[in-house]
Amino acid sequence: MTRRESGILLHPTSLPGRMGIGDLGPQARVFLDWLEAAGQSVWQVLPLGPVGFGNSPYNASSTFAGNPMLISPDRLADDSLLPPSALEKLPALAADRVDYPRATANKNDLLRTSWEYFVAWAPAAVKDELQTFCAAPEQRLWLEDWALFAALKAKFSGQPWQQWPRELAIRSTAALQEARQELADEIAYHRYLQFLFFRQWGELKTDANRRDIRIFGDLPFYVALDSADVWANPHLFSLDDDAHPVYVAGVPPDYFSATGQLWGNPIYRWDRLEETGYGWWIERLRHHLRLTDLLRIDHFRAFVDYWQVAADEQTAVNGQWVEGPGHRLFDAVREALGELPLVAEDLGIITDEVRELRVALGLPGMKVLQFGFETVDSEHLPHRVTPDTVYYTGTHDNDTAVGWHSAMGSVERQR
């Protein structure tokens, strides 16, 4: 990032629309129109993966797959991948907030209809396009594992994969082969959903870039335990022989929490990742930088050291700091991918070692206006922001600017 520019953080699910949840359809183009007219050059989004429990994009069931809830039925109808009649009797859904259970059920019904329509009526050229997508090298690392994982999730009513029959949980070759045969149709359906997502996302990004608007993505440091990533690559995570976590992630006690935060994400086996030349991380970054023009790395400090807690602990109090991969990982990434347009999320309690790594890598950090008025000498105050910074009025963790100002106390207002 070498030029001064401005933009908006808005996840696509927050766009208005008649589907009960924002998606990659017409309203996304309206938002691009607005960004262009307002002279904005960046659209920042949250992680794009399929959401798990709690509907949080930071708890995705895959770091590679796209979220089917972002697929636009309107675009499917425009592309003759959904009969227009399917959109004629949509249920009335709230316009001011997302009712996730209803919106998800409604969208899933439409996607199933699209799949049936595709199988019966799609022209050969579109079916060839699906086959080309599935066979592409970019999908080789993850698509088949994801499609099987999603099919098994449906078969077992959404249960975490550690609760599946043991032979499937530990990925017995015979059990996986049997599942692929039994669930062949469902697996094909989930391949199709990924084809739709990446097709629509690619079209949206192309439209944004044509207007000189860059897409700014977001990559969590950890992946969810109940994810295709951990299920398909158990050797890269701190798991026991029964695929249960040995250590999990969190942060230690601080001013805000006497017991810290116990996140529950499995810890990486950095020793094994290093043995492979950090190949999984390299492919993860390569994948996300195909989807975006800039990429924020959440919890950047964990590359230096991270808080590790035994999986049987009830709080994060009894954890310990463990050294992260630091320069070794980024040296491997740069050798494979070159210089990358990354932004380091360096909020919270940050050590000198974390700052030194960020500066050595030449990555911008973050500051937040709403944090600037808590003390008179805050580094988040506008006049203290340095050029190597992405400056936010607030992030997805903050109140809106209007809500923040309305709730501000007299001391903060005076500052």
Element (H, E) at 77: helix 73-78
79 assigned to active site:
no
pTM for the model stands at 0.95
Among candidate residues 203, 298, 313, 353, the one labeled active-site is: 298
Read out DSSP for 192-205? HHHHHHHHHHHHHH
pLDDT, one tens digit per residue, over 87-121 is 998 888 887 889 999 999 999 999 999 999 999 99
Looking at residue 334, its amino acid is R
Res 91: pLDDT: 86
pLDDT, one tens digit per residue, over 119-172 is 999 999 999 999 999 999 999 999 999 999 999 999 999 999 999 999 999 999
Taking Cα atoms as reference points, which of 132, 51, 138, 149 lies closest to residue 98? Answer: 51
Among candidate residues 186, 229, 345, 346, the one labeled active-site is: 345
Q: Which residue has the tokens 């003759």?
A: 80
Res 385: pLDDT: 86
Structure tokens at 160: 């975490």
d(CA 58, CA 123): 37
Res 89: pLDDT: 83
Largest CA distance in the chain: 69
Does the pLDDT of residue 182 top 80, yes or no?
yes
| Angle, alpha carbons 345-351-355 (nearest 5°) | 55
pLDDT, one tens digit per residue, over 303-360 is 999 999 999 999 999 999 999 999 999 999 999 999 999 999 999 889 999 999 999 9
Helix crossing, 279-291 with 327-337: angle to 10°?
60
**What's the rounded mean pLDDT across residues 251-276?**
94
352 assigned to active site:
no
Res 236: pLDDT: 98
CA–CA distance from 274 to each of 7, 271, 287, 305, 328 (Å)? 37, 5, 19, 16, 8
Structure tokens at 161: 């994969």
Domains observed in the chain: 1-216 (3.20.20.80)
Contact present, 355 and 346 (Cβ < 8 Å):
yes
Q: How many alpha carbons fall within 13 Å on the CB side of residue 268?
A: 22
Does the pLDDT of residue 415 top 70, yes or no?
no
pLDDT, one tens digit per residue, over 384-405 is 888 999 999 988 888 888 898 8
Helix crossing, 100-121 with 184-210: angle to 10°?
100
Q: How many alpha carbons fall within 13 Å on the CB side of residue 232?
A: 21
Does the pLDDT of residue 372 top 90, yes or no?
no
207 assigned to active site:
no
Does the pLDDT of residue 190 top 70, yes or no?
yes
Taking Cα atoms as reference points, which of 257, 309, 350, 287 lies closest to residue 60? Answer: 287
